[in-house]
Amino acid sequence: MSQYTTSSSSDVKPIQIVPKKSVLNSHGCGGDCTDHDDSQARWPRAKVLDLFNLPFNDLMWQAQQVHRQHWDANEIEHATLLSVKTGGCPEDCGYCPQSASYDTGVEASKLMSPDEVREAVIAARDAGASRFCMGAAWRAPKDRDIEKVAELIGVIKQEGLEACCTLGMLTDSQAVSLKDAGLDYYNHNLDTAPELYGDIISTRDMQDRLDTLSHVRSANIKVCSGGIVGMGETRAGRAGLIAQLANLPTFPESVPINDLVRVPGTPLADTPELDPLEFVRTIAVARITMPTARVRLSAGRQAMSDAVQAMCFLAGANSIFYGDKLLTTGNPDVARDHALLAKLGLRSGKAVTARVIAA
Ligand code: SAM
Ligand code: DTB
Ligand code: SF4
């Protein structure tokens, strides 16, 4: 399906995405909630749902074709996470162990020092990571927090890694300060379909998230934005999340797809497990609708079999969180990941962007 255009010269720059029309509207649904006619959107939600509904083999075949047009199919980016300011968060995200609203046993801590961060960055680099992502459990950083984080970004850049952070909502001037400090990516997830957002989080709305993404874009920082599946949503809900991401004025350069980590004490702790094949479908649909994005197989890998992870890579995932810990919960250890990638003949990717295909 040709929903995007390509340019034809160098083979390392991302293709130019030309939206049919800007689709954001006043309540931030991107025109893809059930209340709107979104037929003019780049990816009408019904078309996204049609992809989800394909026979599994046909979906995988489409996803693989798109993946191989734009990426080296045997190369996986390794991004390491560090929680630089943990817990005590005033937001009430129903999935999150760091919210002060829930008793999850996560202890709140202060912002880490540059020396502590440097130690973690060097360890991540020595283990083979190319991107380092710092997470902070803030609703929105204060300007004095941004000054301190700018110093931490400097540490990552001095050690030669790509820098990403996820700090909550940003103003436009804060985004510019982070760009000036050398930030490459900002992670801010849309998390779920617009119509489900209020069921998961009451302390902010989807429009707050979209505003921050717009500030990040305007500051010329690359956007990392995805969501969580397995929160009890239907397939139509998953289609709504992917449509919302794919219809952003420019779709994100990085798209983390998280399988809910069900943490005791959070409201979503007892949510039934998502069928793993549904998770694989979500990866495939993200790949097809956002061809030049790094699609990251994100939280939830610890509970996934090697076979399911291999299917995610076949479906077009080309990035993982790498290292024994996500922010507060576990991730497969480095030895398990090395064994899995070796078994599949996959290489670690070094900050490569999608190649341009001839128009
Ligand atoms: N406070 C900032 C914010 O919310 O943007 C940054 C940190 S927050 C922990 C980053 C993302 O982690 C969330 O947007 C969510 O997508 C993901 N996340 C948090 N808890 C999770 C869980 N239990 N399972 C899967 N993903 C989770
Ligand atoms: C993202 O999409 N997933 C990461 C990262 N961005 C910041 C976080 C996952 C957190 C899982 C729960 C935890 O470890 O606290
Ligand atoms: Fe706070 Fe982010 Fe967790 Fe929400 S997801 S409770 S904003 S740390």
Alpha-carbon gap, residue 24 to 240, rounded angstroms? 14
pLDDT of 126: 94
312 is catalytic: no
The reply to whether the predicted model has a pTM over 0.75 is yes
- What is the Cα–Cα distance from 230 to 244, expressed in whole angstroms? 17
Is ligand 3 within 6 A of the CB of residue 89?
yes
| Geometric angle at alpha carbon 76, from 323 and 249, rounded to 5° | 105
pLDDT at 20: 33
Q: Is 292 in the pocket of ligand 2 (CB under 6 A)?
A: no
Kindly state the average pLDDT of the residues 88-100.
Answer: 98
State if residue 258 touches ligand 3 by the CB under 6 angstroms criterion: no
Going by pLDDT thresholds of 50, 70 and 90, the confidence category of residue 85 is: very high
How large is the C-alpha radius of gyration of the chain? 19
Question: Is any ligand 3 atom within 6 A of the Cβ of residue 91?
Answer: yes
Please indicate whether residue 220 or residue 357 has the higher confidence score (pLDDT).
220
Query: Which ligand lies nearest the alpha carbon of 189?
Result: 1
Q: How far is ligand 3, taken at its centre, from the CA of residue 248, in Å?
A: 22
Active site residue 133: yes
Catalytic residue status for 96: yes
Average pLDDT over residues 328-341: 97
Mean pLDDT, range 113-138, rounded to an integer: 97
pLDDT of residue 35: 58
Task: Tell me whether residue 93 is one of the annotated catalytic residues.
Answer: yes
Looking at the predicted structure, is the pLDDT value of residue 25 above 90? no
The finding on whether 189 has its CB within 6 A of some atom of ligand 3 is no
pLDDT confidence of residue 28: 45
Mutate to test the pocket of ligand 3, among 89, 139, 260 (most ligand atoms within 8 A of CB): 89
Query: Is 29 considered catalytic here?
Result: no
Average pLDDT over residues 273-293: 98
Please state, in angstroms and as integers, the Cα–Cα distance from residue 18 to each residue in 78, 212, 251, following that order. Answer: 29, 22, 10
What pLDDT, on a 0 to 100 scale, did the predictor assign at position 37? 80
Domains and CATH numbers, the chain: 60-349 (3.20.20.70)
Ligand 1 centroid from CA 219, angstroms = 23
Please list, in sequence order, all residues whose beta carbon lies within 8 angstroms of the beta carbon of residue 307, skipping any fewer than 6 positions away.
none
pLDDT of residue 10: 32
User: What is the best residue among 298, 320, 321 to mutate for testing ligand 2's pocket, by most ligand atoms within 8 Å of CB?
Assistant: 298
pLDDT at 21: 34
What pLDDT, on a 0 to 100 scale, did the predictor assign at position 276? 98
Q: Is the CB of 96 under 6 A from ligand 3?
A: yes
pLDDT at residue 343, rounded to an integer: 97
Question: Which residue, 288, 233, 211, 214, is CA-closest to 52?
Answer: 288
